[in-house]
Chain A
Amino acid sequence: MLETPGVGADIDVDEEAGKRATRLGLAGLVWAYIPVVLIARGSFGYLFEGQALRNWSTIFVSLTLQAIPFLVLGTVISAAISALVPASWIARAVPRNPVLAVPAAGAAGALLPGCECSSVPVAGRLVARGIPEGAALTFLLAAPAINPIVMVSTAVAFPGQPEMVAARFLASLLTAVIVGFFWSGFAHPDWLTSKMKVHEHGSRLDDFVSTAASDFLQAGGFLVAGAGLVAAMQTVVPPSVFDHLGGSGPLAILVMAGLAITLSVCSEADAFVAAGMTQFSLTSRLVFLTVGPMVDLKLIALQAGAFSKRFSMRFTPLVLVVAITIATLVGTVLL
């Protein structure tokens, strides 16, 4: 291990802060859950039946299992950036000017063929490597929403409605770029700290595997926490809650945004879920498809893991407001 003592000390301090933020972030999620669970209290008896536990475990394990290959893809890319790409090369390759960097990052998002679980570790690593924050966040938001796999599955789920694919692409890219610009322009530098650790042990192989292992555990731990909550949500809240909701007004849009956050369906599959909800207008379903890959319980947990609670508290509401507004506008014009 060839770290200088100074670097080692910095890491320790960061880690203490990180641990505290981790505990606080989880506590925050649990608190946010209490009102939701209280509302669902009528169904609480189900919790204690074996059937409910089995149902929870199936959804929980399947969410985790589904995410693991994407998480591995994300952490391998992240570790490769950290161990193999010199920081000086990144500094030269990426424009410092956000006017160029942000849209470029949005377009680069189209190249990562994964769902949201891959993009979080990659974005966390990019920030740790000194990419302008706005650009890294634009990448974080755009990658899971506009990559070719998601576009194809959207086209399959909405046959004969290519405007839905176009609207999803446009609304997601616009949201990602606007949030990126907004962050570049107004964010305080203290708000975002990457918790992705830098391992410099000497050999490239050691750097690579150490970084991959710690990124995987960091992101994966948060993912598991998010998956547990989502599975509990799906098990406890009776689906009949949604029977009487529908329509096309502002309420429908808010309901669909709320559903996107709580259901946390993977961006590859959410188009199929949205296609089935015909009681909602196309615009409100576009809101569902735009918000889902950017803000949901699983993602909030992942982002809090890669960055910090302070970051999540500002970033999540910002993205939510921009995504709902842009998707509503795009939907009104295109659909």
Chain B
Amino acid sequence: MRRSDAGAMVALIGAFTLWMGLTPTHLLYVKPSMTRWLILSGAILVAVGVTVVVLGRLEARKGATRAADAHDEHAHHHAEDGHAGHHHATRIGWLLALPLCVAVAVGTNPLGSYAAGRQNSQRVLPPGEFDLEAYLRAGSFAGQAPALRNIDYIRASQDPDQRDLLGEHAVKLTGFVVDDPDGHGRDFLLTRFMIGCCAADALAVQVEVPVDPGEVPDEETWVEVEGTLDLEASPEPGQSLDPPVLSVTAMREVDEPDEYYEYP
């Protein structure tokens, strides 16, 4: 890779990283605490790349002048270097353009129903605490049903002390629709992914939502559902990540949120 190519390549990756970090797009891939590091590293890459190109140009011009002045073979050799090559990185560096190419060609997509349908079936609740009672007491919800994250809903539904509260109080959940392979068209799985670091370690967190036969919304539609826990149909308290079942009182379509994933 020539010096100017190497510099341009580094600046390009920097611009890609900056663009990701400055728009909500990066939240489709990594956790929000990475935002500032993406912006910082993108800026560093752009600065390094531009400096490499500019210094290379200056040096090439200096070398050319020197060669022309003194017919100095050594300087002449290096002047040609500046233009034509002196390899600054092996060709493998070109591969760094691939994520950008892929993001452009395939589009920037979050994990969807495909990944949700391919989760390991023996799954346990990830570690974490959620105190539903304190949450209900602390918040003023202006007469509305309080909104809960899917992961907190499942934690509370698996907790023998909190479970009954979910049976009495209606809460609001937001997620996207994934078909239930065992549902026979009578329910769907309201799904969110929880990510620890990036989308490569995502865990599907699902709640089963019964609907009238044939009324299942299209897959990957974002919906907000309101309802209470169906104590009989939901799995027994324990450590399982099996979907609890909601008794729905209201459901509406919503826009895809910027913060696409849930975090531990």
Contact = CB atoms under 8 A, between A and B. Distances in A.
Contacts of A263: 200
Interface string A258-295: 00000111101110110110110000000000000000
Given A69-B40, A72-B41, A57 B197 contact: no
A240 B52 contact: no
Contacts of A220: 13, 93, 95-96
Nearest to A237: B118
Contact of A69 (B3, B10, B41, B127): B41
B120 A65 contact: no
B92 A222 contact: yes
A61 B88 contact: no
Dominant SS among interface residues on chain A: helix
A60 B197 contact: no
B88 A214 contact: yes
A236 B172 CA distance: 35
B227 to A, nearest CB: 27
Given A1-B59, A61-B102, A217-B6, A209 B90 contact: no
Contacts of A60: 99, 102
Contacts of A243: 120-122
B95 A221 contact: yes
Nearest to B87: A15
Contacts of A217: 1, 6, 9-10, 88-90, 92-93, 96
Give the bracket for the number of chain B residues in contact with chain A: 35 or more
B89 A61 contact: no
Nearest to B113: A51
A239 B41 contact: no
Given A209-B48, A221-B94, A240 B121 contact: yes
A104 interface: no
Contact of B127 (A59, A64, A157, A273): A157
22 contacts: A55-B111, A57-B103, A57-B106, A58-B28, A59-B200, A68-B17, A72-B41, A76-B44, A157-B126, A199-B88, A213-B89, A214-B89, A217-B10, A220-B96, A221-B95, A224-B95, A230-B200, A265-B197, A266-B201, A275-B126, A275-B127, A278-B124
